[in-house]
């Protein structure tokens, strides 16, 4: 796969450089990209209901997928669909050979599309393979307002920029008013090639990259000047894998507010879909009027990601599992604290020189929440120093978050014990921070002492495996406080069982909020609206 650096200057976009301030559904938008809902019901009655809902949720047009209808009476059904649709209509009748459901003869299929034109369709989508013949057949009869989208679908991969450019030229030559190319993402860097084509396209262009790794092709089409993007009515009802809902596009990603100058942020992780960071940052960006969008970025190879998305507009990133340690090598400069921890959870591209600067904000929120939780408990430590001083602080795990917690607790004067599935990694981390090590299997057998603290920094118990826990309940009663870095769910089995044993608990949500304040300030240069952060997180948890 091509992984070469790609220049993405969104301001050169043909569609994005003019008419940026357009009015969509009564709201001032920064882009002219349309939001289209695929209507894929099996009956005309249901299609009519779905079209009404599409308007209600804020879509600009609907794509009526005729191939989804179980019974289709061309004349009667098309008349009704055109007449009763409250939004502009895009008709497609996708054959099996292009990823659709229609398996009848071609004449019948194309006749239905020609009839839809006669009856007042606003857009027709035809496949490249039949486009020239179809466009010739409507020559002289094509209404002025009708736009023909000629589409090409590739369910294997995303070709090179050169191959995509050639494909655009072939589609254009077929007589298309709008070019649509859907490809498949094997890696998130594949999407950059589609962005490059979108930005430089002289003809209205719809570029989609299918799959979870291609999600940003849908969200950022508004930044790079795509003609339209697709959003579903409900999650799970999709015309293409991992399509976002219209509601998510409008309210989670603030789609109408995305424009050529919008800075791109995101959480780089694998898996990533559970992350609540997009909800949090987008809501806060919107509230403070900051021109940024924050996305889920399913990244397999972090070095390749930064080699590809090297332009200034890809401005800041949160880093999660499993990239926190590899991220250190991707940065031009690393904050001294992050360097000693050996892990990064935040990267910003410095606006002055484009260099990547890495930080670790993980431990700050967790340690202060644990200190807060210990206040007032027995053995609360000296009045002046930290309540962590002198206590045994047991860290389960030896990854990025573990290092941050162990380092933070050590700074506060705690004695560190690392317990990990892989003992050698526990030993290595214990030697680095100055502490002891034990295998996770032996943690239940350590001699108990007063005032011990337990911090889980593994993903054991995280959604969807919410029945798992790293330490059996009977061992929890020896601890003064139990912290869990996991925040989905907020109440893990570990925390629930600790609470049942009468132990003070601190949730990963506190760590999340604490590190998020710091990242927000680094991303935006603005002071973090702390009350708003807490409110947003509480609403979503």
- Active site residues per annotation: 153, 180, 324, 362
Residues 162-201 vs ligand NAP: string with x where CB under 6 A? ----------------------------------------
Which residue of 58, 400, 435, 451 would you call a contact of ligand NAP, by CB under 6 A? 400
If one asks whether residue 508 binds ligand NAP (CB under 6 A), the answer comes out as: yes
DSSP 244: P
Measured from the CB atom, the residue of 224 and 520 that comes closer to ligand NAP is 520
Q: Of 322 and 390, which CB lies nearer to ligand NAP in the complex structure?
A: 322
What is the contact mask toward ligand NAP in residues 347 to 386, using x (rule: CB under 6 A)? ---------------x------------------------
Q: What is the distance between the alpha carbons of residues 26 and 6, in angstroms, rounded to a whole number?
A: 36
Q: Shortest distance, CB of residue 510 to ligand NAP, whole angstroms?
A: 8
Residue in this structure with the two tokens 């009564």, named with its chain if needed: 26
My answer on whether omega of the bond before 106 falls inside 30° of 0, hence cis, is: no
Q: Does the protein bind ligand NAP through residue 398 (CB under 6 A)?
A: yes
Residue with Cβ nearer ligand NAP (401 or 437): 401
Tell me which of 88, 175, 271, 322 binds ligand NAP, using CB under 6 A. Answer: 322
Distance CA 305, CA 292 (A): 19
| Choice between 328 and 398, CB closer to ligand NAP | 398
Helix axes 423-433, 400-411, angle to 10 degrees: 30
Tell me the two tokens of residue 308.
């590809």
Interaction with ligand NAP in 471-500: which residues (CB under 6 A)? Answer: 485-487
3-state helix, strand, coil in the chain (%, to 5): 40, 20, 40
Q: Give buried/exposed letters for 143-174 (b at 16+ CB in 10 A, else e).
A: eeebbbbbbbbbeeebbebeebeebbeebbeb
What is the Cα–Cα distance from 245 to 248, expressed in whole angstroms?
5
- In this structure, the chain runs to a length of 541
Rounded to whole angstroms, the Cα distance separating 514 from 491 reads 18
Q: What is the token pair recorded at 75? A: 């004349």
- Is residue 281 close enough to count as binding ligand NAP by CB under 6 A? no
Site track for ligand NAP across 426-455, x = CB under 6 A: --------------x---------------
Nearer to ligand NAP, 316 or 381 (CB): 316
**Which of residues 240, 460, 482, 494 is near ligand NAP by CB under 6 A?**
460
Rounded to 5 degrees, what angle do the CA atoms 27, 62, 279 make?
50
Give the nearest distance from C-beta 307 to ligand NAP in angstroms.
22
The count of residues interacting with ligand NAP (CB under 6 A) is 28
Sign of CA dihedral 333, 337, 339, 345: negative
Among 131, 416, 511, 536, binds ligand NAP (CB under 6 A): 511
515 belongs to the binding site for ligand NAP (CB under 6 A): yes
**Which residues are 230's β-sheet partners?**
36
Binding site residues, ligand NAP, CB under 6 A: 320-322, 324, 362, 397-402, 420-422, 425, 440, 457-460, 462, 485-487, 508, 511-512, 515
């Amino acid at each position: 796969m091509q992984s070469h650096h790609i220049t993405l200057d969104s301001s050169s976009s043909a569609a994005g450089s003019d008419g940026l301030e357009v009015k969509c559904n009564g709201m001032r938008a920064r882009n002219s990209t349309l939001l289209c809902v695929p209507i894929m019901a099996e009956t005309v009655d249901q299609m009519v209901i779905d079209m009404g809902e599409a308007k209600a949720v804020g879509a600009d047009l609907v794509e009526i997928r005729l191939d989804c209808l179980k019974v289709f009476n061309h004349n009667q059904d098309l008349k009704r669909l055109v007449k009763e649709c409250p939004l502009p209509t895009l008709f497609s009748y996708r054959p099996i050979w292009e990823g659709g459901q229609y398996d009848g003869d071609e004449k019948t299929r194309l006749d239905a599309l020609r009839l839809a034109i006669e009856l007042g369709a606003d857009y027709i989508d035809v496949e490249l393979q039949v486009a020239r013949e179809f466009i010739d057949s409507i020559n002289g009869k094509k209404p002025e307002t009708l736009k023909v989208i000629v589409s090409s679908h590739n369910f294997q991969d995303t070709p090179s920029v050169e191959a995509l450019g050639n494909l655009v030229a072939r589609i254009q030559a077929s007589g298309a008013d709008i070019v649509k190319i859907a490809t498949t993402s094997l890696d998130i860097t594949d999407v950059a090639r589609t962005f490059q084509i979108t930005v430089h396209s002289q003809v209205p262009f719809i570029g989609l990259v299918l799959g979870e790794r291609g999600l940003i092709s849908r969200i950022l089409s508004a930044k790079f000047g795509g003609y339209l993007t697709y959003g579903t009515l409900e999650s799970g009802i999709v015309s293409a894998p991992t399509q976002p809902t219209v509601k998510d596009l409008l309210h989670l990603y603030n789609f109408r507010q995305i424009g050529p100058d919008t800075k791109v942020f995101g959480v780089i992780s694998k898996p990533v879909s559970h992350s609540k960071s997009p909800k949090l940052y987008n809501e806060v960006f919107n509230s403070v009027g900051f021109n940024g969008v924050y996305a889920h970025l399913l990244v397999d190879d972090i070095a390749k990601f930064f080699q590809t998305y090297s332009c200034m507009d890809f401005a800041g990133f949160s880093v999660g599992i499993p990239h926190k340690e590899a991220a250190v090598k991707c940065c031009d400069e690393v904050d001294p604290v992050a360097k000693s921890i050996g892990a990064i959870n935040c990267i910003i591209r410095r606006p002055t020189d484009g260099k990547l600067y890495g930080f670790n904000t993980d431990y700050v929120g967790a340690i202060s929440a644990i200190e807060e939780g210990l206040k007032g408990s027995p053995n609360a430590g000296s009045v002046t120093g930290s309540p962590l001083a002198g206590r045994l602080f047991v860290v389960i795990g030896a990854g990025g978050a573990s290092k941050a917690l162990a380092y933070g607790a050590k700074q506060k004067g705690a004695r560190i014990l690392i317990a990990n599935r892989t003992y050698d990694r526990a030993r290595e981390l214990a030697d680095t921070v100055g502490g002891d090590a034990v295998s996770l299997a032996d943690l239940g057998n350590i001699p108990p002492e007063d005032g011990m603290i337990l911090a889980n920094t593994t993903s054991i118990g995280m959604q969807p495996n919410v029945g798992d826990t790293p330490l059996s309940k009977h061992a929890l009663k020896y601890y003064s406080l139990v912290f869990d870095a996991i925040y989905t769910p907020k109440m893990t089995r570990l925390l629930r069982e600790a609470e049942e044993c009468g132990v003070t608990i601190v949730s990963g949500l506190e760590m999340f909020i604490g590190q998020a304040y710091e990242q927000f300030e680094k991303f935006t240069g603005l002071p973090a609206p702390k009350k708003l952060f807490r409110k947003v997180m509480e609403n979503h948890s």
